[in-house]
């Protein structure tokens, strides 16, 4: 392991890679801060640039952008109560009240220290867990991988929240459907190409991500009418941050919260599909309960604990979500799905073999997480008053640029103008579905895993002489599929149980 | 049955899944492939059944009753931007990168309310040229900068 860490350090610490970490953190913070744009769009916008770099450098750049974007998202949550992504919603509960009390600088500093600690502690867990899990997963076969992918897809939908599970499942299926467009990998038969040569190679992953995230988020911002009062508020918030000093008593208050939330965040991040949003809310709720009745009342009004807990947990979960990606090759979240797509673009197949075949990539990702967090703390925090001014740039200049970067990012990879037209079509579909509250992340996950799932299933059937019996004969496959079934039906069963309880004891549940 | 957001989305995706299912039947199979357990049509067929089933479930049991409200949104701006993006795709080759991109950005700024001609030019042309230089010199990605008729022969 020590040898691996050294490999990672020597790869990540080259001047050029350090430059990528710094640039990535700054660019990520900048993009993440723009209301409406989250880490997924930030990483997607970086893919065309990362594609022209060495694999390790490209992944380091994207990991840095990821951390930067999370930090940037927290900044806009705290300053203007506009969380760019769901994972920073809980940050705004106490961060925004603090900013309103004239302590925006302090809130940003607490968020930065918490994110840093959460990220660093979770990267330590990753360092221990990833090689262990990678060595275990070497025993996995095609059938197990197929089952794992089913689990990953189902879990994303299962964690989508009450009432949204069916929509998330359907969007996953839509993603799987889109992955079947193009020439069939084994039999060489064209599928769903509609007679168009441009679709023979299938739909580009980058194109789909750009259209459904960066483009549709920018278009959604165009659709929503701009409120001048909000613009004024953003302008003022970006200029008056106040002191960034954190007192000793506040550090004392934060320390145990950071410890607990790091562990919680990491564990939830490792679960496929759960991710940073659930981790941040769970950490917030846990700390509120642990704070006791007196301190608990401060939550929502500018509590240090209430700000520190979700910030630590969402960063720890972001790190945790790299565990299934690096060890099993299965992304646990939309963001890691994009990372997986980028790795595949480099010709690198993440999974247990990555640890053995590409140690430089594997370890430099882990080391770059530490570096990214350190850079965020020592570089971004002092620069935040300046970076925050991005909030004052008028949207009428920012939005056309985002659209341009999204379009040109895809065009520069393929040099095919058909791709731009296809992006427009996907953007129309994505804007419509977003407006109807259908989630996009499960679709991307389905799209990324679709090809691999079909390939593994086909291989499993070939090995088993066209018999489907492997689904129940191999204990590991059966176990994972059973877990997927539990994930799928548990929300329904708990809902039914609750309804039944309500019928039997109506008074207890209504609180009468 | 009133049309909530969920139901409208469900209907749209049901149409998509049905079309996908129909198109899946057009995938050509070689004679020997028809009796194997897994062929090029298997996954699409399974997916279309799953998709249709889920879409019907959403229509019948919508997760929320939120109604669709179209008023108060800048739909026209969105449509114009979609048209602009499509036009950009059509002009990037004949007009060259610098001219087409500058026009794209200037029209974009104008659509969102910027009316000062000098600002329109200053916020687009220098940045587009800088971006082109960065891409061609820094990342070795070459793209024709000028319109076809201004290109030098040979």
For chain B, how many structural domains are there in total? 2
Q: How confident is the model at residue A412 (pLDDT cuts 50, 70, 90)?
A: confident
Q: Dihedral angle at the C-alpha atoms of A426, A428, A433, A436, nearest 10 degrees? A: 180
Asked whether residue B87 is domain-assigned, the answer is yes
Q: Which residue of B has its CA nearest to A398?
A: B109
A312 CA: distance to closest CA in chain B (Å): 31
Residue appearing with tokens 């370890």: A363
Neighbours of A428 (CB within 10 A): 17
Range of the domain at B124: 75-150
pLDDT of residue A200: 94
B30, B88, B135 ranked by CB distance to A420: nearest: B88
pLDDT of residue A511: 39
Per-residue buried b or exposed e for A483-506, using 16+ beta carbons within 10 Å of the residue's own CB:
bbeebbeebeeeeeeeeeeeeeee
Asked whether residue B70 is domain-assigned, the answer is no
At residue B62, the 3 state secondary structure works out as coil
Eight-state DSSP code of residue A226? P
The answer, yes or no, to whether residue A218 has pLDDT greater than 70, is yes
Residue B82 shares a structural domain with residue B56? no
Each residue of A460-498: pLDDT tens digit? 888 888 888 888 888 989 999 999 898 888 877 777 787
Q: Which residue of B has its CA nearest to A186?
A: B40
The answer, yes or no, to whether residue A512 has pLDDT greater than 50, is no
B9, B51, B141 ranked by CB distance to A433: nearest: B9
Q: Which residue of B has its CA nearest to A165?
A: B63
B12 vs A contacts (CB less than 8 Å): 432-433, 436
Residue B55 shares a structural domain with residue B81? no
Task: Establish if A432 touches chain B: CB-CB under 8 angstroms.
Answer: yes
Give the separation between CA A412 and CA A152, rounded to whole angstroms.
Answer: 32
pLDDT of residue A509: 46
B13 vs A contacts (CB less than 8 Å): 170, 174, 438
The answer, yes or no, to whether residue A80 has pLDDT greater than 50, is yes
- Cβ A388 vs Cβ A33: under 8 Å: yes
Q: What ipTM, to 2 d.p.?
A: 0.94
pLDDT of residue A160: 67
Range of the domain at A73: 2-503
- Cβ A417 vs Cβ A202: under 8 Å: no
A216 CA: distance to closest CA in chain B (Å): 10
Closest C-alpha among A399, A396, A419 to residue A407: A419
Give the separation between CA A131 and CA A127, rounded to whole angstroms.
Answer: 7
pLDDT of residue A70: 84
The pTM score is 0.83
Q: Token pair for residue A179?
A: 């992955």
Give one DSSP letter per residue of A148-180, joined into a string: HHHHHHHHHHHTT-TTTHHHHHHHHHHHHHHHT
For chain A, how many structural domains are there in total? 1
Q: What is the mean pLDDT of residues A325-337?
A: 80
pLDDT of residue A157: 76
B28, B36, B54 ranked by CB distance to A189: nearest: B28
Asked whether residue A250 is domain-assigned, the answer is yes
Closest C-alpha among A93, A82, A75 to residue A395: A82
pLDDT of residue A84: 64
Q: What is the mean pLDDT of residues A13-40?
A: 84
Closest C-alpha among A328, A272, A417 to residue A138: A328
Q: Which of residues 223-262 of A touch B (CB under 8 A)?
A: 223-225
Asked whether residue B65 is domain-assigned, the answer is no
Cβ within 8 Å, pair B51-A457: no
The residue of A16, A149, A173, A484 whose CB has the most chain B CBs within 10 angstroms, and thus the best one to mutate to test that interface, is A173
Cβ within 8 Å, pair B38-A165: no
- Domain stops at, among B17, B36, B60: B60
pLDDT of residue A155: 79
Asked whether residue B67 is domain-assigned, the answer is no
A244 CA: distance to closest CA in chain B (Å): 33
Give one DSSP letter per residue of A420-448, joined into a string: HHHHHHHHHHHHHHHHTT--SHHHHHHHH
**Could you tell me which residue, B40 or A272, shows the higher pLDDT?**
B40
Asked whether residue B38 is domain-assigned, the answer is yes
Each residue of A373-397: pLDDT tens digit? 888 888 777 887 787 777 778 888 9
A424 CA: distance to closest CA in chain B (Å): 6
**Could you tell me which residue, A295 or A176, shows the higher pLDDT?**
A176
- Cβ A63 vs Cβ A373: under 8 Å: no
Closest C-alpha among B140, B124, B146, B142 to residue A403: B124
Cβ within 8 Å, pair B30-A192: no
- Domain stops at, among B32, B60, B88: B60
Largest CA distance in chain A: 69
Quote the distance between the C-alpha of residue B84 and its chain's center. Answer: 12
Cβ within 8 Å, pair B89-A417: yes
The residue of B19, B33, B63 whose CB has the most chain A CBs within 10 angstroms, and thus the best one to mutate to test that interface, is B63
Q: How confident is the model at residue A161 (pLDDT cuts 50, 70, 90)?
A: low
Asked whether residue A508 is domain-assigned, the answer is no
Looking at every residue in chain B, the average pLDDT score rounds to 90
Task: Establish if A467 touches chain B: CB-CB under 8 angstroms.
Answer: yes
Residue appearing with tokens 């840093």: A116
Residue B80 shares a structural domain with residue B142? yes
Q: What is the mean pLDDT of residues A257-284?
A: 86
Cβ within 8 Å, pair B112-A222: yes
A215 vs B contacts (CB less than 8 Å): 85
Long-range CB contacts (within 8 A, 24+) of A503-510: none
Q: How confident is the model at residue A510 (pLDDT cuts 50, 70, 90)?
A: very low
Q: Which residue of A has its CA nearest to B27?
A: A191
Phi, psi torsion values for B41, nearest 5 degrees: -90, -20
Residue B85 shares a structural domain with residue B55? no
A484 CA: distance to closest CA in chain B (Å): 16
Q: What is the mean pLDDT of residues A121-142?
A: 83
pLDDT of residue A425: 97
The answer, yes or no, to whether residue A334 has pLDDT greater than 80, is no
Each residue of B90-125: pLDDT tens digit? 999 999 999 999 999 999 999 999 999 999 999 999
Distances (CA, A) of A148 to A182, A276, A330, A481: 25, 20, 8, 8
């Amino acid at each position: 392991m020590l040898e691996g860490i050294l490999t990672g350090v020597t790869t990540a610490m080259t001047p050029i890679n350090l430059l990528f970490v710094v640039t990535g953190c700054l660019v990520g913070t900048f993009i993440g801060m723009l209301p409406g744009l989250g880490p997924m769009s930030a990483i997607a916008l970086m893919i065309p640039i990362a594609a022209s770099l060495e694999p390790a450098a490209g992944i380091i750049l994207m990991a840095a952008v990821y951390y930067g974007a999370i930090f940037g998202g927290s900044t806009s949550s705290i300053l203007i109560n506009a969380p760019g992504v769901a994972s920073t919603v809980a940050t705004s509960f106490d961060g925004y009240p603090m900013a309103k009390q004239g302590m925006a600088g302090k809130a940003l500093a607490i968020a930065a220290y918490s994110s840093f600690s959460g990220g660093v502690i979770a990267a330590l867990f990753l360092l221990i867990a990833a090689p262990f899990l990678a060595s275990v997963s070497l025993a996995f076969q095609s059938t197990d991988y197929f089952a794992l992918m089913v689990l990953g897809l189902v879990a994303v939908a299962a964690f989508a929240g009450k009432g949204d599970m069916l929509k998330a499942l359907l969007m996953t299926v839509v993603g799987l459907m889109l992955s079947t467009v193009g020439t069939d990998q084994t039999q060489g038969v064209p599928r769903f190409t509609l007679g168009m040569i441009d679709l023979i190679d299938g739909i580009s992953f980058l194109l789909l991500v750009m259209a459904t995230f960066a483009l549709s988020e920018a278009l959604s911002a165009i659709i929503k009418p701009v409120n001048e009062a909000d613009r004024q508020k953003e302008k003022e918030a970006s200029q008056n941050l106040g002191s960034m000093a954190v007192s000793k008593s506040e550090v004392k208050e934060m320390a145990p919260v950071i410890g607990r939330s790091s562990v919680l965040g990491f564990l939830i991040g490792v679960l496929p599909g759960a991710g940073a949003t659930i981790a941040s809310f769970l950490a917030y709720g846990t700390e509120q309960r642990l704070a006791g009745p007196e301190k608990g009342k401060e939550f929502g009004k500018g509590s240090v604990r209430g700000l520190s807990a979700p910030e630590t947990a969402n960063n720890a979960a972001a790190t945790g979500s790299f565990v299934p990606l690096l060890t099993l090759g299965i992304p646990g979240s939309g963001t890691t799905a994009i990372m997986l797509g980028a790795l595949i673009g480099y010709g690198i197949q993440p999974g247990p073999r990555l640890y053995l075949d590409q140690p430089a990539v594997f370890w430099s990702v882990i080391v770059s997480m530490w570096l990214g967090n350190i850079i965020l703390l020592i570089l971004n925090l002092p620069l935040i008053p300046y970076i925050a001014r991005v909030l004052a740039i008028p949207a009428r200049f920012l939005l056309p640029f985002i659209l341009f970067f999204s379009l040109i990012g895809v065009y520069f990879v393929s040099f095919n103008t058909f791709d731009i037209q296809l992006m427009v079509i996907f953007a129309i579909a994505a804007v419509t579905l977003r407006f109807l509250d259908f989630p996009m992340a499960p679709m991307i996950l389905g799209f990324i895993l679709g090809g691999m799932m079909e390939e593994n299933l086909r291989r499993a059937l070939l090995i088993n002489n066209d018999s489907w019996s492997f689904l129940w004969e191999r204990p590991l496959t059966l176990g994972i599929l059973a877990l997927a079934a539990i994930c799928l039906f548990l929300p329904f069963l708990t809902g039914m149980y609750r309804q039944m309880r309500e019928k039997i004891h109506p008074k207890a549940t209504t609180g009468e | 049955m009133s049309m909530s957001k969920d139901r409208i989305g469900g209907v749209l995706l049901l149409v998509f899944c049905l079309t996908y299912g129909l198109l899946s039947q057009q995938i050509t199979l070689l004679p020997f492939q028809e009796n194997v357990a897994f062929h090029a049509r298997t996954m699409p067929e399974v997916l279309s059944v799953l998709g249709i089933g889920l879409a019907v479930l959403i229509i019948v049991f919508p997760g929320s009753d939120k109604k669709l409200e179209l008023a108060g949104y800048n739909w026209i701006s969105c449509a114009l931007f979609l048209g602009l993006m499509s036009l950009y795709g059509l002009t990037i080759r004949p007009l060259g990168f610098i001219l087409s991109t500058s026009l794209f950005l200037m029209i974009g700024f104008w659509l969102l309310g910027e009316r000062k001609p000098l600002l329109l030019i200053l916020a687009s042309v220098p940045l587009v040229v800088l971006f082109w230089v960065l891409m061609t010199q820094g990342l070795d990605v070459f793209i024709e900068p000028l319109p076809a008729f201004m290109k030098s022969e040979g």
